Amino acid sequence: MPEPVILGADHAGFELKETVKKALERLGVPYDDVGTRSSEAVDYPDFAHRVAEAVEKGRYTRGVVVCGTGIGVSMAANRHRGVRAAVAYDEETARLSREHNDANVLALGGRTIDPGLAERILEIWLKTPFAGGRHERRVAKIEPGGTEPK
């Protein structure tokens, strides 16, 4: 069985988060949803931090965050050590975020991409492995004080 994914969104990402949940169910990927539960206005950092903290602490290996553009939630999530949140806006950025950057949090824009594209992005992101090799050195340098792997 695939590893579970943790999800979070603000009000602008609520509808797309619901689409992501259905896609995960279709793909047989378990998930936990930390909110929000409606389109009533909330603050995106609250939900991005919930997801990122769970990834940072190792409770989940991957997460998905959604706001209006994906930018705000990615900025908040990337404040956490070991979190590499990437905004993906098409299939290629989804693939490369995993293959080259080993992204462990996918950030999506509820106001910027349609549900069908979001489902394709999610599926590619989940199925694409990290390429390692020359990319490993670069990913190691992302963390403050990061150095080349030994």
pLDDT at 146: 78
pLDDT at 149: 61
- At 115, give phi and psi (nearest 5°): -60, -40
Residue 47: name the closest of 33, 68, 26, 28 by CA.
33
Domain contains 34: yes
Total domain count for the chain?
1
Which residue among the candidates 11, 49, 67, 80 is catalytic per the annotation? 67
The pair of structure tokens assigned to 13 is 């990402």
Residue 108: name the closest of 129, 128, 94, 126 by CA.
94
- Count the Cβ atoms, other than its own, within 10 Å of residue 59: 12
Could you read off the pLDDT tens digit of each residue along the chain, which spans 150 residues? 789 999 999 999 999 999 999 999 999 999 999 999 999 999 999 999 999 999 999 999 999 999 999 999 999 999 999 999 999 999 999 999 999 999 999 999 999 999 999 999 999 999 999 999 999 999 999 988 877 665
Residue 53 belongs to domain spanning: 5-140
pLDDT at 144: 85
Domain contains 20: yes
Domain contains 147: no
Domain contains 87: yes
- At 103, give phi and psi (nearest 5°): -60, 130
Output the pTM of the full model: 0.96
Where are the strands (E) in 2-144, listed by range?
Answer: 5-9, 31-33, 62-67, 85-87, 105-109
Domain contains 108: yes
Domain contains 27: yes
CA dihedral 18, 24, 29, 30 (to 10 degrees): 10
pLDDT at 50: 98
pLDDT at 147: 76
Please confirm, yes or no, whether 135 is among the known catalytic residues: no
Please confirm, yes or no, whether 100 is among the known catalytic residues: yes
Domain contains 148: no
> Contact at 8 Å (CB) between 8 and 48?
yes
Domain containing residue 127: CATH number: 3.40.1400.10
